[in-house]
Chain A
């Protein structure tokens, strides 16, 4: 099975700089998306550290056959998922300690979503409110759970989902990289079928474009590059309030 990955990031229409970052490693079947935060463009530094550190860590697992992982081994998920978790925890420590040494960087943080695809299995590591979606047979489903305040409220039944969309607290995160010495990372595996599409995106997309609109747009596009470009354009057309990043990976037979 072949894997085609393409990504695009845009500063949006209202912001002056782009604090999103993403990296693709098609030979390894890996991509990572991060949305940085923190004043004075330090979000950019955090998200860059996050994507580069995780990519390098994954490379060390992939090519050097490194055995040890950071943190506890979770026997319920695959070897790769554990390795992704380790890479994300490593990134967290790098960002956290870097921020400590340079006081001006204090408070910088980032979301992160790493996806590592191996034949027909995808492993995902996730922290924050960026998302990974799975598109199968024209249906869009969100694979990751947002680590945001409103999401927790919806899950606890305190808030209805439509209210959550409109809440002015919807940017408040419950988890992020770089803010704490230890990071709690969601890791999971999912099986893939030929034709499946995985989309990693920052909230710049979701804030502007609703899920069903995304779902409608995808079948019209032929390649991941077209999908990524189109979704970014859609976000900007709808207002482009925030930086937007979209990475699209498609598994073909």
Chain B
């Protein structure tokens, strides 16, 4: 898990790029987030204080109270006319009727009546004589008509006021139908309300204007008496919240103002033509510049929750229950607040915002220049802040510690939010801070998580516990081959799963070194904690038996073998070396332990000689020694002679090299070297002659023994003689001997062997001569002194004492044989074992014949 993780920088840079991409494509998700922030900020722009807000706008509400008292809507338009008359008395500057009068009232009844009036009037005219009752009746009908003609009343009222703005509505569409033919005669409402002051109509492609497909207009008669109409259409943002007004709508090729816009214009006393529009930028009305965004919309800065503006109930107004000051010189808005009537909008400030109050807010914004605007430099600031936050997250944040990083991030977050908030609330500048803020929050989370995970992985150093220390020591001792010390250390550790494996390995090491008791001890230690761990139960069993079978003896098949017999159950695992089953230990040789083994395939018992290499031999020397060993074993194995021990097999198992050879029952001739144990001369001659034959045979095969001595000559129970350890003696590790080639038992070595010169069969014959001497006299020909140097000097230079001086009954020709064998110069010695054998047999014949 090293270099796979991206570096801190990459993460930071990647996040910044992603956010920049979002910023570029203006992804809706962020818009929603931004709107949430926007709405939160918008609350701070509320102006509950009337002096801040201004008092130019009043509302006359058709509320529930009025409905209850006056009757169900629709009311007769005479009521409206009544209201207008009353309002006019209070001298407002403008009256906006947020009620749509697109159809005449009760046309049918009126028409019928007017028809009747007309008809009756015609009838009367044609009559010469009119009765007063008939004239009265005509009058009655006329006045009924008059009374019922509310529309006319309203019409008059409108005209008399002279400051009425009417409402119209557009059905907005993204793709209005193409104009089929030019409309010659526009309805009045449109004709007097179209805006001519659009300065850059050609830029319309760049700055979208809302398009209308259809219109709901006030009746021409009404329109005539008014100052014009403004539309009340509205477009919410993607989340359904109204945040912006629609100052302009295009319909049939012309631009029409919104209702609040008209009201504001009238309030200002400006003709519509003097209202100048720069698409995508602003609307200029007298001294007021209304900022427009790229979609020609105006952001609404709501000044309060519903009810903030002065409400007056319609009923109260009609019944003179209001004061003049409520309306004098103001814009009076007439609209619905009754439940079920009028529109309710979702705004940042409230969810049920009456349409009429919305209009009031927009008008207030215009008149008091209370605008929220996207400043032209906002793009640069937003981009710049994203980049700055990106740099912070990429370069600085990873280097900071947890506490500092958190504090600084908070500061950065505040640095984004605070100025943006301030600008928004105080100056009305809308800067989108959602992008840099988002980058900061996500960047912080990513960096902190990464840090958390990476520090988790980095292991911190701790001082090892005593248990860990003992484990370390144990492992080191084991590595150095000091298994006892290793075990001592391991015993101090609690036995957890890991420790069980460690101990198990130690047990295996002990087994390899054939220290079975110790291996058992180790396994039993594991067993105390987990008796069922791996195969330790069977191992303990088996090793105990193998250890019990060990017997010490100085020679093969020594006398105490009987006590050592062991019965092994057939089913249990027996120790094996190669394919041989190890039955028991027979003894310890110079080079290693000798076991009694069995070849299960052919059911033959063999002797297994193991070779133990020095512990401090390095790997190369070990390899070399093993190679030599197997080479020698191979050549010795090829010697098939009745007087040479048969070698069956050689191999390696569990780091031990072994030879499987003929199992011999008997003892070596060393037993007969003691003065009190000497054999008769004839026997000695017999045995040695046979050995000489064996020598001859081997030498002809090119195999030299190099270590002929009594200990290597076996006298078997059946009286036969075997030479053992051909060439094997050469296998010992070379670390003990710097020159590496001088080996053998010094007392028996030939002069040339001592000198380290290349030896051949004649060297063996010298050694045989020494052996002969010793077997006959019970003394070695060269005894040496305290230091080995003396012995070597003697062998090389001094003549051997005459054997006859030690044992008188040695025949002269035997002495001659000895002398020749012990000649210092190999060229003067017996050249072949056969020669020596012949001489020896001749001596023997003489003794037998002589003795008879």
Give A residues with C-beta under 8 Å from B.
16, 45, 48-49, 52-53, 56-57, 60, 65, 67-73, 79, 82-83, 86, 90-91, 93-94, 97-98, 101
Query: In whole angstroms, how far apart are the Cα atoms of A82 and B460 in the complex?
Result: 11
Cβ 8 A contact of A69, one of B462, B482, B485, B616: B462
The answer to whether B463 and A90 touch across the interface, beta carbons within 8 angstroms, is: no
B730-743 interface bits toward A, Cβ cutoff 8 Å, 1 = contact, 0 = none: 00000000100000
Q: What are 17 inter-chain pairs, A to B, with CB distance below 8 A?
A: A45-B616, A53-B480, A56-B476, A67-B462, A68-B463, A68-B469, A69-B461, A72-B463, A73-B461, A73-B462, A82-B461, A83-B461, A90-B472, A91-B476, A94-B476, A94-B477, A98-B482
Query: In whole angstroms, how far apart are the Cα atoms of A98 and B616 in the complex?
Result: 15
Residue of A nearest to B478 (CB): A56
Query: In whole angstroms, how far apart are the Cα atoms of A97 and B464 in the complex?
Result: 19
Query: In whole angstroms, how far apart are the Cα atoms of A67 and B464 in the complex?
Result: 8
Name the A residues within 8 Å of B475 (CB-CB): 56, 60
The answer to whether A70 and B476 touch across the interface, beta carbons within 8 angstroms, is: no
Name the A residues within 8 Å of B738 (CB-CB): 16
The answer to whether B461 and A79 touch across the interface, beta carbons within 8 angstroms, is: yes
Query: In whole angstroms, how far apart are the Cα atoms of A60 and B473 in the complex?
Result: 12
Q: Given A65-B459, A70-B469, A70-B472, check contact A86 B464 (CB 8 Å).
A: yes
The answer to whether B480 and A98 touch across the interface, beta carbons within 8 angstroms, is: yes
Cβ 8 A contact of A49, one of B461, B464, B468, B480: B480
Q: Given A68-B465, A69-B464, A86-B464, check contact A94 B459 (CB 8 Å).
A: no
Residue of B nearest to A73 (CB): B461
Distance in angstroms from A23 CB to nearest chain B CB is 12
Q: Given A52-B479, A98-B485, check contact A71 B463 (CB 8 Å).
A: yes
Name the B residues within 8 Å of A83 (CB-CB): 461
Residue of B nearest to A67 (CB): B459
Query: In whole angstroms, how far apart are the Cα atoms of A98 and B463 in the complex?
Result: 24
Query: In whole angstroms, how far apart are the Cα atoms of A79 and B459 in the complex?
Result: 10
Query: In whole angstroms, how far apart are the Cα atoms of A49 and B482 in the complex?
Result: 11
Query: In whole angstroms, how far apart are the Cα atoms of A105 and B477 in the complex?
Result: 15
Distance in angstroms from A100 CB to nearest chain B CB is 9
Query: In whole angstroms, how far apart are the Cα atoms of A60 and B475 in the complex?
Result: 10
Query: In whole angstroms, how far apart are the Cα atoms of A98 and B476 in the complex?
Result: 11
Seed contacts A52-B480, A97-B477; 12 additional CB < 8 Å A-B pairs = A52-B479, A56-B479, A60-B472, A67-B459, A68-B464, A68-B469, A70-B472, A86-B464, A90-B476, A91-B476, A98-B477, A101-B485
Query: In whole angstroms, how far apart are the Cα atoms of A70 and B480 in the complex?
Result: 19
Query: In whole angstroms, how far apart are the Cα atoms of A65 and B461 in the complex?
Result: 11
Name the B residues within 8 Å of A60 (CB-CB): 472, 475
Cβ 8 A contact of A90, one of B465, B473, B616: B473
Name the A residues within 8 Å of B616 (CB-CB): 45, 48
Name the B residues within 8 Å of A94 (CB-CB): 473, 476-477, 480
The answer to whether B463 and A69 touch across the interface, beta carbons within 8 angstroms, is: yes
Query: In whole angstroms, how far apart are the Cα atoms of A228 and B95 in the complex?
Result: 106
Name the B residues within 8 Å of A90 (CB-CB): 472-473, 476
Name the A residues within 8 Å of B459 (CB-CB): 65, 67
Query: In whole angstroms, how far apart are the Cα atoms of A97 and B486 in the complex?
Result: 11
Name the B residues within 8 Å of A70 (CB-CB): 463-464, 469, 472
Residue of A nearest to B477 (CB): A94
Q: Given A45-B616, A98-B485, check contact A67 B476 (CB 8 Å).
A: no
Query: In whole angstroms, how far apart are the Cα atoms of A70 and B482 in the complex?
Result: 20
Distance in angstroms from A101 CB to nearest chain B CB is 6
Cβ 8 A contact of B479, one of A53, A65, A79, A93: A53
Chain B residues 440 to 465 lying within 8 A of chain A, measured CB to CB, are: 459-465
Residue of B nearest to A17 (CB): B738
Name the B residues within 8 Å of A16 (CB-CB): 738
